[in-house]
């Protein structure tokens, strides 16, 4: 059936239009809620991964800070380098928020 601009749609055609609009709105809302749920799950997973990474990083930095440079003369350039390296590594943990 071909309609012209002056034709009034039948009751069935109007119901079909309303139904299609409602279906379109419902599908859009379902897609929106699905996207929000996916985003929240991804964000929670990233937070968990961040906590695990932070724990591993702090454990490693704490282990490095516990290491002491070998004993020796303070005038030895190699020892001085190791002492300075230890000082920098020991400061790194608190700098990144490790306790």
- For the chain, 99 residues long, give each residue's pLDDT as a single digit of tens: 566 777 777 889 899 999 999 999 999 999 999 999 999 999 999 999 999 999 999 999 888 888 888 888 878 888 888 888 888 888 888 888 887
The whole-number pLDDT of residue 70 equals 80
**H-run or E-run covering 15:** helix 11-66
Q: Two tokens at 50?
A: 């961040």
The whole-number pLDDT of residue 76 equals 85
Q: Give the three-class secondary structure for 38.
A: helix
Whether pTM exceeds 0.75:
no
CB 54, CB 82: distance < 8 Å: no
Q: Two tokens at 57?
A: 């990083």
Cα separation, 80 vs 28, in Å, equals: 67
| Domain residue extents for the chain | 11-95
């Amino acid at each position: 059936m071909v309609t012209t601009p002056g034709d009034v749609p039948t009751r069935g055609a109007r119901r079909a239009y309303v139904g299609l609009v409602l279906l379109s709105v419902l599908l859009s809302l379902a897609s929106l809620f699905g996207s929000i749920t996916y985003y929240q799950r991804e964000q929670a997973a990233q937070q968990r991964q961040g906590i695990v990474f932070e724990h591993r990083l702090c454990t490693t930095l704490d282990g490095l800070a516990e290491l002491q440079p070998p004993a020796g003369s303070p005038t030895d350039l190699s020892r001085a380098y190791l002492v300075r390296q230890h000082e920098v590594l020991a400061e790194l943990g608190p700098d990144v928020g490790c306790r």
